């Protein structure tokens, strides 16, 4: 069943909509995570991805107990353009989570989608899930993600040296974190109603 604008959406932003993941999304995920251009700054892409692996992944996380998954669709067409998740850390008493985001449709790589979805994730983490701290990790080559996280008020909290091997070289992973109190201050001053 193709996406429809009259579907029920979890969130409607100014440039995108958020909905639940669906089994029909798997065909796109499968292609995205086998595309070297999409996975160049990710751990994916080292071994072939399969539809079966993606089905198993979705099935394992559909309950949202430790990983809450969302589909990102175009505001005007409802076309699936990416996926994001909030990964809840254990023990949950620490109220800490990790955000992740993949925009799989290349024509959306330039533009406001990445920033808007990340703002929505932070709002959801802090204002709905009552988390106290959010972190994100990125490949040392991914300057777009690094600059976005810094713009949103994240602090660089550390580097995991030579965390991955790709293209004949070891690469660092860079970790960033943000506290709820920092986001509340930053959100009101700089981002108003953005998302």
Tens of pLDDT along 86-129? Answer: 999 877 777 999 999 999 999 998 888 999 999 999 999 999 99
For residues 49 and 31, the answer to whether their CB atoms sit within 8 Å is no
Indicate the pTM of the whole model: 0.90
Q: Please give the average per-residue pLDDT across 156-166, as a whole number.
A: 93
Q: Does the domain made of 11-186 have the CATH classification 3.40.50.850?
A: no
Residue entry with tokens 């990964």: 87
CA distances (Å), 92 to each of 15, 31, 41, 65, 85, in order?
Answer: 32, 33, 29, 10, 16
Q: How confident is the model at residue 166 (pLDDT cuts 50, 70, 90)?
A: confident
Residue entry with tokens 């070891």: 170
Q: Are strands 155-166 and 133-139 parallel, antiparallel or unpaired?
A: unpaired
Tally Cβ neighbours within 10 Å of residue 116: 19
Rounded to whole angstroms, the Cα distance separating 35 from 97 reads: 28
Q: What is the pLDDT of residue 111?
A: 83
Mean pLDDT, the chain, whole residue set? 90
Rounded to whole angstroms, the Cα distance separating 55 from 49 reads: 11
For residue 65, pLDDT over 50 is answered with yes
Rounded to whole angstroms, the Cα distance separating 49 from 105 reads: 17
Rounded to whole angstroms, the Cα distance separating 166 from 173 reads: 12
Token reading at 57: 């992944």
For residue 34, pLDDT over 50 is answered with yes
Q: How far is Cα of residue 60 from the mean position of the Cα atoms in its chain?
A: 18
């Amino acid at each position: 069943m193709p996406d429809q604008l009259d579907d029920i959406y979890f969130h409607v932003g100014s440039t995108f909509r958020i909905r639940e993941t669906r089994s029909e999304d798997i065909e796109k995920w499968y292609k995205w995570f086998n595309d070297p251009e999409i996975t160049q700054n990710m751990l994916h892409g080292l071994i072939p991805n399969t539809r079966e692996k993606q089905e198993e992944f979705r099935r394992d996380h559909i309950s949202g107990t430790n990983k809450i998954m969302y589909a990102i669709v175009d505001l005007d067409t409802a076309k699936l353009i990416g996926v994001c998740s909030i990964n809840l850390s254990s023990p949950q008493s620490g109220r800490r989570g990790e955000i992740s985001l993949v925009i799989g449709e290349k024509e959306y790589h330039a533009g406001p989608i990445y920033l808007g979805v990340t703002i929505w994730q932070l709002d959801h983490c802090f204002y709905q899930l009552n988390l106290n701290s959010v972190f994100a990790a990125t490949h040392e080559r991914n300057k777009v993600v690094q600059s976005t996280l810094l713009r949103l008020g994240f602090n660089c909290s550390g580097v995991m040296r030579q965390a991955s091997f790709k293209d004949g070289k070891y690469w660092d992973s860079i970790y960033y974190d943000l506290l709820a109190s920092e986001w509340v201050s930053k959100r009101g001053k700089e981002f108003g109603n953005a998302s």
